[in-house]
Amino acid sequence: MPKSLNFYPYGKQSLDSEDIEAVVQTLKSDFLTTGPAVDEFERALESEAGVAHSIAISSGTAALHAAYFAAGVKPGDEIITTPLTFAATANAALYLGAKVKFVDVDEETGNLDPALLEEAIGPKTKLIAAVDFAGHPADYEKIQEIARANGLVTVGDAAHSLGATYQGRPVGQLADLTTLSFHPLKLITSAEGGAVLTDSPEYAQKLRDFRTHGIVKDKDRLLSPDEGPWFHEMQSLGFNYRLSDVQAALGRSQLAKLDRFLKRRQEIAKAYDEAFSDLPGIQLPIEKEEVSSAWHLYVLRVSDGAKARRRLFEKMQSLKLGVQVHYIPVYWHPHYQELGYSKGLCPKAETFYEQAISIPIYPALLDSDLQEIQERVRKAVRSTL
């Protein structure tokens, strides 16, 4: 009987007994929700990214919502972002009553194209949210320059790129506010979770308030400080976006392994680059000279476009490769269509979407797994393109 094929997802968490022990210890402690483990995780994130403040929060989506709030986004404002992202990057603006202007991408990296920013900026634009697609930092030098010249805030959605660098500087130091996600498929996980990184104490305070309903307890900040020792004030409208200590303990334990995880992702990307360089009809992802990518995703592109991509995708699935497409342009989703966005808005992002297939990349893949995946990819390409 032929050996049945292992299934390889496109991404997967890597947990070990240390991670499990860290969670168990927290379960035995006095704190379950936000307590000392959240504090420790935040300080560790600050030292990892070399930033002054890290605010742990319940998800990457909550991190975006909080970051846009801290930046002052209000009903009627506009934010600029890329359509080649998970919907959350745009949705967080809608939560605040703001509008989203989608700007097309650089066809090589899939990141926001800074050359198109000036013409997209209008009187209501408040911020530019770049996304480090697949782990490759966006072109922050140009984005920052344009943002500064126009009095705009920059947000880096670094859900894919914790640990990556741009011009030698780590993610976290590249935008005014940087958001992270610790969903299991991301670079490190806390099951669910996220964080916002910033050097600004004003943003940090707003983010902390937003995470707990807008409630202020610090006596120095109370409008009625003499009411009594129990007193606290809800000074703005916030949410319950707390990360729990149980999650933070896992995140902290995972963060200690980030360098090893990133090294393995780089090795896998290099192995794929070599194994697929001669395949016809396929374009491989690039890493620009000024960048060290976190390789959250390895996105192949099918030169022939939509129909060929579908054939190859289905063939790969039949060979038990858990492939995925990143991303359906956000404004293609029915909710955005109802808001008035039309297909065709960002042609380069749409072409990118029609060509893309993400293949398995995660630290737990062994060299023998890579051999197996490479064979299946080559077979699928040869038989469909």
Ligand X SMILES: Cc1ncc(COP(=O)(O)O)c(C=O)c1O
Residues near ligand X (CB under 6 A): 59-61, 85-86, 88-89, 131, 157, 159-160, 181, 183, 194
Closest residue to ligand X, based on beta-carbon distance = 60
Give CA–CA dist 187/295, Å, rounded. Answer: 9
CB neighbours of 158 closer than 8 A, spacing ≥ 6? 132, 137, 164, 171, 172, 178, 179, 180
Give CA–CA dist 209/239, Å, rounded. Answer: 9
CB of 194 to ligand X, least distance (A): 5
Nearer to ligand X, 249 or 377 (CB): 249
CB of 56 to ligand X, least distance (A): 12
Tell the residue number behind the tokens 């669910």, with chain if given: 192
Nearer to ligand X, 26 or 190 (CB): 190
Nearer to ligand X, 10 or 86 (CB): 86
CB-based burial of residue 216 (10 Å sphere; 0-12 exposed, 13-18 middle, 19+ buried)?
buried
State the alpha helices, DSSP H only, in 33-164. Answer: 36-49, 60-70, 88-95, 117-120, 140-149
Residue (of 381, 373, 377) closest to 7 by Cα position:
373
CB of 304 to ligand X, least distance (A): 27
Nearer to ligand X, 90 or 319 (CB): 90
Nearer to ligand X, 69 or 276 (CB): 69
Nearer to ligand X, 131 or 216 (CB): 131
CB of 88 to ligand X, least distance (A): 4
CB of 159 to ligand X, least distance (A): 3
CB of 87 to ligand X, least distance (A): 8
The side-by-side arrangement of strands in the sheet containing 153-157 is 53-57, 194-198, 177-181, 153-157, 125-131, 78-81, 99-102
